[in-house]
Every structure is written in structure tokens, then in C-alpha cells.
């Protein structure tokens, strides 16, 4: 039972790490896109 719980906890931890990594990449992508969005905004004015 304890071993089973430990395996589940590891799976959950791995899932959280993957989620955090994806959020980090998403944040980097948005950060990189921001100047492009500002430039597009200036061009549209």
C-alpha cells in the first residue's frame, strides 16, 4: 500500500514538473511575442 502511494506521488510530481515546464515555455513565448504585438499595434495606428 505504501509503495503504491509512493508510485502515485511520483507520477503526480512528474506531472506537476511537466506542467510547470510547459507554463514556463508559455511565459517565455508570451514574453517574446510582446514586442511584436507592440510593433503591430504601432503599425496599425
H helix runs in the chain, sequence order? 2-44
- Location of C-alpha cell 508510485: 7
Q: What is the C-alpha to C-alpha distance for residues 10 and 3, in angstroms, rounded to an integer?
A: 11
pLDDT tens digits, residue range 22-38?
A: 999 999 999 999 999 99
- Location of C-alpha cell 510593433: 39
Q: What is the C-alpha to C-alpha distance for residues 28 and 10, in angstroms, rounded to an integer?
A: 27
pLDDT tens digits, residue range 10-26?
A: 999 999 999 999 999 99
DSSP 26: H
Task: Please state the pTM of the whole predicted model.
Answer: 0.57
Q: What is the C-alpha to C-alpha distance for residues 44 and 33, in angstroms, rounded to an integer?
A: 16
Amino acid at each position: 500500500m505504501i509503495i503504491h502511494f509512493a508510485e502515485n506521488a511520483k507520477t503526480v510530481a512528474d506531472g506537476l514538473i511537466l506542467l510547470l515546464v510547459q507554463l514556463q515555455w508559455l511565459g517565455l513565448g508570451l514574453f517574446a511575442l510582446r514586442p511584436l504585438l507592440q510593433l503591430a499595434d504601432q503599425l496599425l495606428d
